[in-house]
């Protein structure tokens, strides 16, 4: 009878231990499952990028009127644009990081990053975020004068002294727009003709206003990859400022020259 008294508590302890162990195992499985679901949820999230532009209200206020320079090449025809493009795509500008004479001493270049959405022609790089450059932009007077002849800078400085004017060159900007080009806006979507530059290791937006046209998509504050329905979109004519069918534009200016 005594043996039974000792055996019963042992059996009870074993049962309790098994139950507790089972509970902890189940809870461990539950935690592992939750972690796995959280990881899957995170991995399925779409990358989103906040837009940014160095062109603040102060930069706009301290910018001179646009300096327009005639096109060096007046024949930015559809054939020429196709021949000189690696990619033609719908792109959304994520950042406009700055403008500098570093890439072009004469006029300067604007640079930043953009999302490649629909690829219309050339290398299929959709869903990629790439760096771009384009001619012109709002360039600080200090940076612009670094690339100008010393004699010209000395003459400008002399004229300022004669007029008694003082200029903060770091915070005074020249807005250089070439030919029929347009100014980029962060968060806007464009049809862009792109040529990859081995020299700059960035995609150059070519053709000035012939290679960059706004699409009628709402300006964004954060950018994600989008596969747009081409048939539902309009493209802005930089000359007439009217909206035209994007699909028709592609057929008449891209498809027939592929």
pLDDT above 50 (res 133): yes
- SS3 state at 87: strand
Least Cα distance to 244 among 217, 215, 224 occurs for: 215
How does residue 229 score in pLDDT terms, banded at 50, 70 and 90? Answer: very high
Residue 90: band (very low, low, confident or very high) from pLDDT cuts 50, 70, 90: very high
3-state secondary structure of 84: coil
pLDDT of residue 219: 96
Distance CA 95, CA 125 (A): 18
Q: Which helix (H) or strand (E) holds 88?
A: strand 87-100
pLDDT given at position 69: 62
3-class DSSP state for residue 139? strand
172: pLDDT strictly greater than 60 = yes
Flag whether pLDDT at 167 surpasses 90.
no
What per-residue confidence (pLDDT) applies to 107? 82
Q: State the greatest distance between any 2 C-alpha atoms of the chain, in Å, as a whole number.
A: 120
DSSP class of 95: E
107, 67 contact by CB (below 8 A): no
Mean pLDDT of 141-170: 80
Contact predicate 118/89, CB 8 Å? yes
**Mean pLDDT within 70-99:** 87
pLDDT digit string (tens) for 180-199?
Answer: 889 999 999 999 999 999 99
């Amino acid at each position: 009878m005594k043996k039974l008294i000792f055996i019963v508590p042992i059996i009870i302890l074993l049962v309790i231990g098994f139950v507790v162990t089972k509970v902890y195992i189940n809870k461990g499985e539950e935690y592992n499952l939750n972690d796995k679901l959280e990881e899957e949820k995170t991995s399925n999230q779409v990358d989103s990028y906040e837009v940014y532009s160095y062109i603040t209200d102060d930069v706009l206020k301290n910018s001179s009127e646009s300096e327009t320079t005639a096109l060096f090449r007046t024949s930015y025809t559809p054939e020429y644009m196709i021949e000189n493009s690696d990619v033609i795509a719908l792109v959304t500008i994520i950042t406009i990081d700055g403008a500098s004479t570093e890439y072009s001493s004469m006029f300067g270049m604007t640079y930043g990053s953009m999302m490649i959405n629909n690829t219309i022609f050339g290398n299929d790089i959709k869903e990629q975020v790439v760096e771009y450059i384009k001619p012109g932009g709002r360039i600080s007077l200090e940076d612009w004068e670094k690339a100008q002849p010393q004699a010209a800078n000395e003459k400008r400085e002399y004229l300022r002294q004669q007029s008694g004017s003082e200029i903060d060159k770091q915070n005074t900007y020249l807005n250089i727009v070439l030919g029929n080009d347009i100014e980029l806006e962060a968060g806007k979507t464009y049809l862009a003709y792109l040529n990859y530059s081995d020299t700059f290791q960035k995609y150059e937006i070519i053709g000035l206003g012939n290679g960059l046209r706004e699409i009628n998509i709402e300006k964004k504050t954060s950018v994600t990859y989008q596969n747009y329905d081409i048939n539902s979109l309009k493209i802005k004519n930089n000359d007439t400022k009217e909206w035209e069918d994007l699909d028709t534009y592609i057929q008449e200016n891209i498809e027939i020259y592929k």
